[in-house]
Amino acid sequence: MKFASVRVVTQDLEGLVEFYRKLSGIEAVRPADGFAEMQFEGAVLAISSENLIKLFNVGAATAAANRSAILEFEVEDVDAVFERMNASGTDIVMPTTPMPWGNRSLLLRDPDGNLVNIFSRPKR
């Protein structure tokens, strides 16, 4: 079995795509109206308009309703990401903080309120 992607459902496709583009520098591919994919190293982030869910799976997902999953991205320089995202007005939940296990983590909320952890591992 291959883990293919994580999909986030939104009412603001363009806003969410722009947030993750600003965060990562990765441009989205748009294979269909209302749907975008961003190919990260090791994983795909899919972003779907809530309208697509309503067309094919009414009630299966609700945009901006998640409070249990955390999208996590490993970076070399978490402080640089903090500076960039803070300057853009992103909702910073926790500024860059050393974790007990050695990572440095930054917690953000994307425009839909999804929790995003940006972290760097300790140098070895």
Quickly count: other Cβ atoms within 10 Å of residue 119's Cβ.
19
The Cα–Cα gap between 28 and 6 comes to 14
Q: Which of helix, strand or coil describes residue 117?
A: strand
Q: How far apart are CA 45 and CA 19, in angstroms?
A: 12
> Do the strands 43-49 and 35-40 form a parallel or antiparallel pair, or are they unpaired?
antiparallel
Copy the structure tokens of residue 85: 């995202």
The domains located in the chain, with CATH, are 1-59 (3.10.180.10), 67-124 (3.30.720.110)
Please check whether residue 94 is in contact with residue 107, taking contact to mean a CB–CB distance below 8 angstroms: yes
pLDDT tens by residue, the chain, 124 residues: 889 999 999 999 999 999 999 999 999 999 999 999 999 999 999 999 999 888 888 888 889 998 899 999 999 999 999 999 999 999 999 999 999 999 999 999 999 999 999 999 988 7
